[in-house]
Structure 1
Amino acid sequence: MTAEPIWRPNPDQTPRPQIHEFTEFANQRTGQNMISYEDLWRWSVSDLDGFWGAVWDFFDVIADEPYTDVLARRSMPGAQWFPGTRVNYAEHALRTALDDKLVDEPAVITVTEDGDRIEITWRELRRQVGSVAAWLRGRGVGQGDRVVGYLPNTHHTLVAFLASASIGAIWSACAQDYAAEGAAAKLGQLEPKVLFAANGHYWNGTAFDRRDQVTDLVARIPSLKAVVGIDNLGAGPLDERTQSTDFASWDNVASGDTPPEFVRVDFDTPLWVLYSSGTTGIPKGIVHSHGGVVIDHLRLLGLHLDIRPGDRFFWYTNTNWMMWNLVASALVGGATTVCFDGSPLYPGPGRLWEIAADTEANVLGVSPGIFLAGMKAGLEPGTEFDLSALRTIGATGAPVPTHCFPWVRDAVGERVQLASTSGGTDVVSGFAGSAPNCPIWAGELSRPILGVALESWDDTGQPLVGEVGEMVITAPMPSMPVKFWNDPDGERYRDTYFSMFPGVWRHGDWITITDHGSVIISGRSDATLNRQGVRLGSADIYDVVDGIPEVAESLVIGAEQPDGGYWMPLFVVLAEGVSLDDSLRKRIARDLKEKASPRHVPDDIIAVPAVPHTKTGKKLEVPVKRLIQGHPLEKVATPDAVDSFEALEYFAQFAAGKDGAASEG
């Protein structure tokens, strides 16, 4: 734990961060004299009604009637927020289109891997949403019906989603790196009426034609009444390649001139369905509400990332990941949002920095792998690109290694804040992160996010400081799921979050709350490492090992053995031209001993060709652990839920002791 911050807020920042204005607003309402972030956070979790009511009023939430109660029922699960209010997400996302000063400024910028750039103004976005919504209504789609997308991250996806939300339909999407079977396992659960599908997407220098997969997907979802085809590649239409009785092209559907009409719905009405990774079994459909998402994202984007009308927001994601939903919600904050269809590292590690410069992004969001790739390539984004508009780099998906923080300071710019954030699809939001008035410590998340009653607990439910414990949330958040799809009695929902500590949300992460109030994520608690009774987080090991130039990536697991023993191997993917000799093994062990602790030194160091991940980039520690413990591959993961099933097959061969699988060190 680092004593001194690596970044401190700039009191002369222009414009002044909104969190300062909000603090003054809250002080006027409460008669308090809150000054620091800590003051504001303590109030936000001790007075949920006061805090969330202030968020509603500060950001001027649009509703049929003013709220009378904020939190009518406090129980978890089952909290009831803002009863009697009726809102619509799309109405908030498009209200900047009514601002005369911004109406002809870009609302969405789509960048493709081959360099094409398409800008859509707020005026044009509103027109397209109205046109697509009118087409949906003409096909009998209304409140509660489901509309789904098999789509890459382009403006088409945003328009289709907003059109669905505007009429009260429920949206869900799946990226096209899923084959039809995997996409149907998600989207088919919803029995949708309409599918929006592109003919393909870009990745790593290649245009992938997905028309055959669209045909297969349509055949797997018998509830479909209509399909809208989007020509993303110039590869030809879908109409002759689907089984649908009602096909339309995007150009026809989006060409009308009908103003959007917003169906205001009860606060807790479903807005979209997101999915768990689904590495085993059917992915869980996690349902979030119109009101919960609107007010949560206004708080998260407006106060923590300081997003305001006229800003530009670029977060690398795909349509599978909850960060796509934040990309959409940048519109709710009035910002221009940037969509990118392609690989973040093609044609090289500077690609995302280049896009951020070209689009004049104020906020750039990446995963930690982008920092590691830049470091190993000797990249200096701050001198190679014009990043003068950039003020914040958000990072999520995995803990940011400690050594990445000084690299960002030195290679990007010391004025730029690196805001490491932890959240989840479960709440489509964050639990811990930073804010413009928070200092940053290398390797740490500055603070729990406003309104998030985050604590670290031991197994008996006692709070911990300075020790690793279970991350829990002790008070409701508006964006907690309203339900799981096809979970009528809520049993699966309760079992997922509330089985360990009834009435308290247990997220499944190991965290440490430091003595200066920051948060350190140590990894998933169901993949915990345990050496001589001491719990360790895998992130501490990756922080050291992934910084070694000869190592491209690593994965560590701790496996309980049938004889009562415990085996903690470290698997490493080596950089090109590197071999795992005794010298490198000793250096890895020495670095772990000196920079982490002797307990972090693995039992064995083993070279493997690849590390498997979920589709959103999380290392598959638990499936690999289960393979090592002898579980069959078909019970460990489904092919469509991982980025490289071949990598998992390799570990299955290794676990079975087949010749040539791997050599232990």
Structure 2
Amino acid sequence: MTVEGELLWRPSQDFASGSNLAQYMEWLRPRGHDFTDYPALWRWSVDEPDAFWASLWDYFQIWSDRPYEEVCTKGAMIDARWFTGSRVNYAEHVLRNLDSRGGDAVAIHYRSEMRPGGTVSWQELEEKVRRLATAMRDLGVVPGDRVVSYMPNIPETAIAMLATVAIGAIWSSAAPEFGVGTVTDRFAQIEPKLIFAADGYRFAGRDFDRRADIAAIVGKLPTLEHLVWLDYAHPSGAPVAHRGLRKWDDLVAGDAPPREQFRYERVPHDHPLWILFSSGTTGLPKPIVQGHVGVLIQHMKGMSFHVNIRPGTVLFIYSTTGWMMWNSTMSALCVGGGTVLYDGSPFADGVGTLFAVAQDTGAHVLGASPTLVQAAAKAGFRPRDHFALDALEEIILGGAPSTPETFAWFYDAVKTDLWVTSQCGGTELCSGIVGGVPIQPIYAGEIQGPMLGIDVAAFDDQGRPVIDEVGEMVITKPVPSMPLYFWNDPDKSRYRASYFETFPEVWQQGDLFKMNDRLGCYVYGRSDATLNRFGVRIGTAEIYRTLEKVEGVQDGLVLCCNLAGGDYYMPLFVKLKEGVAPDDAVRAAIIRRLRDENSPRHVPDEILFVPDIPYTMTGKRLEIPVRKILLGAEAAKVASRETMANPASLDWFTDFAACKGLVGL
């Protein structure tokens, strides 16, 4: 059995010294900064943030109309502004790589259940962005206008995003699997002028017609002046009627201005780049506004130093267009890497689907949720027996806590020489907080370290930093990609309540977190889904790790409900494998494992067998919404079924809550 903290891999001398991070450290030496290891480099980056971020401006050769005046404004973290006085465009920095990569080099690999796969060269990408951006200007789209998308994970969506950003308009996206209410809850808040819409998509072999949904969405967005229609699933079908209807093919056809005449809109340091939305599983989604220069420098740093993307490296992260990971996937292009866009089910051709795509595209980096990996492991599937993954160098595990066994599975079932990283970040930063360090070893279940420039710590309940203890994940100094603000939140009250309410002037990320003295990091699940047993906090990931080993168990969900009078109720809901009887023998096996491998505190108050465990479409258990349902909240108010992979799974919990009748605090 693999234990937490067990050494699994060390980088070779060639791998470490050839990494982008090592090259940056060499670049720093003649500039007066000589660091012998990563902890010393990280400490400098957070102790002297102005010097660190200024070095990145020079290292990545950021283009601006004018020099910046101040690296970061002083004062409250919530009001921090970066590289004031600069004028920068995110898309320009992506597409300038055409010159260094060459026109025929591949920028985008795409695969889809709907149509044959292919590639988009850097020249084709740049030309189509130029054409579409020019057409959008002709339609009257100006800097600051909101442009939204209801499109799958395909090249057209990438082109639309870059064209929008190129002219200074503000991008926002929803995945086509989202229903009408979920989309309008988001887009109605930001009053878009133009929408890109694809008529449907295919998932797990099933076709989904979205024409009626698009008609309903458009009807609920009165500010829309233009509908750009993509014939994707129904090329012979009629588009939705709209006074501002345009066809995608028409807008990207014909001549575009020559490169030397095309103008990227270089915008001020506080000009919005895009608007991301919180998951929407509870309440109205928060519209999170992020800026060009902050996201650009954060993405270049993260992709270069913590994912090790180089010109020509191919990054494949499974995502949808409604999740911040799609934006992060696109950021590989910032540093000259290629990206893979896959539109379809991760199990379209069985549990090996993502590995097949990785093989087919020559991916160097593969990113997926641990839950997808666990499905392959449970099926006894060994990718190394089926695919040639010679190009594969790195694994990124994200979206959920990763167990030591998940790490070890890659070395056994995929490759022995593999950089297996777990990374944790969030929509609010559109980047990682802790993640990969290519010059460091890999320990089972351990995230290699905090990312450069991120002053992350674990705080106890009194707001004191702790080492080797589980606490609240916090960030104590500003980060460039933190939100500029929330849309329609002029006094920042909603923004402040979301991240600064518990610890004044300290960002609370909302995860249970531990960091050891070698900077190794562990994330144990959302802190607002924390299990509290007799005053001891337990991360849900600890329960799930043990549950995976119990014979006959398919999946599970554990909660802690704070009850009136200071009591707690911690139920464990278990989904069994087909054919396994839901009896006391299984309960006893679960209890024995939890007590023996963890502690008596890990044993739940009750074990209940359920037909299914509710998940979001991005593979996250709905711990918090289910807990609220158990405490009496209406399911429709705390969980959006349109963002769920299995909406019917909530029905059992609603019925159970009605019978149980818990009373919360």
Same fold (TM over 0.5): yes
Quote how far apart the aligned CAs of 1:370 are: 1.8
- Answer yes or no: is 1:258 the counterpart of 2:250: no
- Answer yes or no: is 1:40 the counterpart of 2:41: yes
CA distance in 2, matches of 1:15, 1:34: 14
Counterpart for residue 556 of structure 2: 554
Counterpart for residue 55 of structure 2: 54
For 2:255, the aligned partner's letter is D
CA distance in 2, matches of 1:193, 1:153: 22
For 1:406, the aligned partner's letter is A
Question: Structure 1 residues 68-77 or 275-284, which shifts more?
Answer: 68-77
For 2:644, the aligned partner's letter is V
Counterpart for residue 601 of structure 2: 599
Checking the alignment, whether the CA contact within 8 Å between 1:196 and 1:228 is kept in structure 2 is yes
Quote how far apart the aligned CAs of 1:307 are: 0.5
Checking the alignment, whether the CA contact within 8 Å between 1:89 and 1:291 is kept in structure 2 is yes
Residues 161-560 of structure 1 mapped to structure 2, 5 A cutoff:
161-239=161-239, 241-242=240-241, 244-259=242-257, 260-548=262-550, 550-560=552-562
Quote how far apart the aligned CAs of 1:613 are: 2.4
CA distance in 1, matches of 2:215, 2:636: 26
Counterpart for residue 662 of structure 1: none
Quote how far apart the aligned CAs of 1:169 are: 0.1
Q: TM-score scaled to structure 1, two decimals?
A: 0.96
Question: Structure 1 residues 393-402 or 250-259, which shifts more?
Answer: 250-259
CA distance in 2, matches of 1:151, 1:15: 41
SS of 1:73's partner is: coil
CA distance in 2, matches of 1:47, 1:150: 42
Counterpart for residue 86 of structure 1: 87
Quote how far apart the aligned CAs of 1:15 are: 8.0
For 1:128, the aligned partner's letter is K
Quote how far apart the aligned CAs of 1:139 are: 0.9
For 1:157, the aligned partner's letter is T
- Answer yes or no: is 1:67 the counterpart of 2:68: yes
Instruction: Please give the per-residue CA displacement for 1:114-159, whole angstroms capped at 9, x wherever unaligned.
Output: 5720211110111110111111101100100011000110001100
CA distance in 2, matches of 1:565, 1:489: 37
Quote how far apart the aligned CAs of 1:635 are: 3.3
For 1:368, the aligned partner's letter is P
For 2:90, the aligned partner's letter is Y
Residues 109-124 of structure 1 mapped to structure 2, 5 A cutoff:
109-113=109-113, 116-124=116-124
Checking the alignment, whether the CA contact within 8 Å between 1:288 and 1:482 is kept in structure 2 is yes
Counterpart for residue 146 of structure 1: 146
Quote how far apart the aligned CAs of 1:658 are: 8.7
Q: TM-score scaled to structure 2, two decimals?
A: 0.96
For 1:228, the aligned partner's letter is V
- 5+ residue gaps in structure 2? none
Checking the alignment, whether the CA contact within 8 Å between 1:471 and 1:511 is kept in structure 2 is yes
Quote how far apart the aligned CAs of 1:625 are: 1.1
CA distance in 1, matches of 2:396, 2:254: 37
Instruction: Please give the per-residue CA displacement for 1:197-229, whole angstroms capped at 9, x wherever unaligned.
Output: 001112111121111111111111111111111
SS of 2:73's partner is: strand
SS of 1:480's partner is: coil
CA distance in 2, matches of 1:653, 1:463: 42
Distance change in 2, residues 1:371/1:638 (3 Å): closer
CA distance in 2, matches of 1:658, 1:561: 13
Checking the alignment, whether the CA contact within 8 Å between 2:403 and 2:445 is kept in structure 1 is yes
Checking the alignment, whether the CA contact within 8 Å between 1:439 and 1:446 is kept in structure 2 is yes
CA distance in 1, matches of 2:116, 2:549: 34
Question: Structure 1 residues 491-500 or 590-599, which shifts more?
Answer: 590-599
For 1:466, the aligned partner's letter is D
Checking the alignment, whether the CA contact within 8 Å between 1:74 and 1:80 is kept in structure 2 is no
SS of 1:486's partner is: coil
Distance change in 2, residues 1:382/1:56 (3 Å): farther
Counterpart for residue 639 of structure 1: 641
CA distance in 2, matches of 1:452, 1:563: 40
CA distance in 2, matches of 1:350, 1:80: 45
Distance change in 2, residues 1:424/1:575 (3 Å): same
Distance change in 2, residues 1:138/1:121 (3 Å): same
CA distance in 1, matches of 2:300, 2:356: 28
Question: Structure 1 residues 121-130 or 573-582, which shifts more?
Answer: 573-582
SS of 2:604's partner is: coil
Instruction: Please give the per-residue CA displacement for 1:437-496, whole angstroms capped at 9, x wherever unaligned.
Output: 122211121111111000111121111112111111000000000000110111100111
Quote how far apart the aligned CAs of 1:580 are: 2.2
CA distance in 1, matches of 2:628, 2:65: 52
Distance change in 2, residues 1:303/1:590 (3 Å): same
Distance change in 2, residues 1:74/1:308 (3 Å): farther
SS of 2:78's partner is: coil
Quote how far apart the aligned CAs of 1:325 are: 0.3
Q: Select which of 575, 578, 581 maps to 1:576.
A: 578
SS of 2:442's partner is: coil
Checking the alignment, whether the CA contact within 8 Å between 1:313 and 1:336 is kept in structure 2 is yes
CA distance in 2, matches of 1:564, 1:87: 53
Checking the alignment, whether the CA contact within 8 Å between 2:16 and 2:439 is kept in structure 1 is no
Distance change in 2, residues 1:252/1:492 (3 Å): same
Instruction: Please give the per-residue CA displacement for 1:84-122, whole angstroms capped at 9, x wherever unaligned.
Output: 1111000011111123x5311111111002572021111
Distance change in 2, residues 1:549/1:89 (3 Å): farther
Quote how far apart the aligned CAs of 1:347 are: 2.0
Instruction: Please give the per-residue CA displacement for 1:485-524, whole angstroms capped at 9, x wherever unaligned.
Output: 1101111001111111111101111111123321111211
Question: Structure 1 residues 335-344 or 379-388, which shifts more?
Answer: 379-388
For 1:205, the aligned partner's letter is G
CA distance in 1, matches of 2:612, 2:628: 17
Counterpart for residue 612 of structure 2: 610
Quote how far apart the aligned CAs of 1:327 are: 1.3
CA distance in 2, matches of 1:237, 1:274: 31
Checking the alignment, whether the CA contact within 8 Å between 1:73 and 1:81 is kept in structure 2 is no
Counterpart for residue 158 of structure 1: 158
Quote how far apart the aligned CAs of 1:272 are: 0.4
- 5+ residue gaps in structure 1? 660-665
Distance change in 2, residues 1:10/1:543 (3 Å): same
Question: Structure 1 residues 245-254 or 59-68, which shifts more?
Answer: 59-68
Distance change in 2, residues 1:106/1:234 (3 Å): farther
Checking the alignment, whether the CA contact within 8 Å between 1:320 and 1:615 is kept in structure 2 is no
Counterpart for residue 125 of structure 2: 125
SS of 1:382's partner is: helix
Question: Structure 1 residues 12-21 or 355-364, which shifts more?
Answer: 12-21
Checking the alignment, whether the CA contact within 8 Å between 1:353 and 1:385 is kept in structure 2 is yes
SS of 2:420's partner is: strand
Question: Structure 1 residues 383-392 or 68-77, which shifts more?
Answer: 68-77
CA distance in 1, matches of 2:404, 2:44: 30
CA distance in 1, matches of 2:387, 2:636: 46
CA distance in 2, matches of 1:494, 1:340: 36
Q: Select which of 623, 626, 640 maps to 2:625.
A: 623
CA distance in 2, matches of 1:253, 1:549: 57
Checking the alignment, whether the CA contact within 8 Å between 1:527 and 1:621 is kept in structure 2 is yes
Quote how far apart the aligned CAs of 1:609 are: 1.5
Identity in percent: 43
Checking the alignment, whether the CA contact within 8 Å between 2:199 and 2:229 is kept in structure 1 is yes
SS of 1:110's partner is: strand
